[in-house]
């Protein structure tokens, strides 16, 4: 695209690509076993993912991982909470997703070293 075409294109034309992408993600619910991600988090689609929950997740920024994309660069949400999310009523989705994210983040924070261990190492010197 040259500068003349770029400047002649209406601003709405740039935004329509984003609308098409969101519509495409809404249109196709992932199959069981697929991996979906948002930011640096991932979950595996299990039985029970309803169309309404999928539309809600897409609205939150979740998307299916593209073929060839490395799913291991994302932190996995706990499967037990994901199962609860898929089985829950819509009024509990936000709370369960927040709990799953909280647990995934806490599981990756390294444990702090107890003060006694630091003192023991320091006293050896």
Rounded to an integer, what is the distance from CA 70 to the centroid of its chain? 14
Measured distance CA(20)–CA(82) in Å, rounded:
28
* Residues in contact with 43: Cβ distance below 8 Å, sequence separation at least 6, in sequence order: 35, 36, 37, 76, 77, 79, 82, 100
Q: Hey, what are 2's tokens? A: 């040259």
Measured distance CA(103)–CA(85) in Å, rounded:
14
| Contact yes or no for 105/75 (Cβ under 8 A) | yes
Q: What is the pTM of this model?
A: 0.67
The pLDDT value given to residue 21? 60
The pLDDT value given to residue 106? 87
The pLDDT value given to residue 6? 55
pLDDT along the chain (125 residues), means of 10: 59 58 68 94 94 95 91 92 96 96 81 52 51
The pLDDT value given to residue 118? 47
């Amino acid at each position: 695209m040259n500068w003349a075409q770029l400047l002649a294109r209406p601003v709405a034309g740039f935004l329509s690509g984003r609308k098409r992408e969101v519509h495409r993600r809404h249109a196709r619910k992932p199959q069981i076993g697929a991996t979906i991600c948002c930011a640096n988090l991932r979950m595996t689609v299990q039985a029970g993912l309803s169309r309404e929950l999928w539309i809600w997740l897409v609205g939150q920024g979740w998307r299916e991982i593209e073929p060839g994309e490395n799913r291991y660069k994302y932190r996995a949400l706990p499967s037990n909470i994901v199962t609860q999310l898929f089985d829950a009523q819509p009024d509990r989705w936000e709370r369960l997703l927040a709990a799953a994210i909280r647990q995934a983040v806490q599981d990756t924070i390294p444990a702090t070293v107890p003060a006694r261990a630091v003192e023991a190492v320091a006293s050896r010197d």
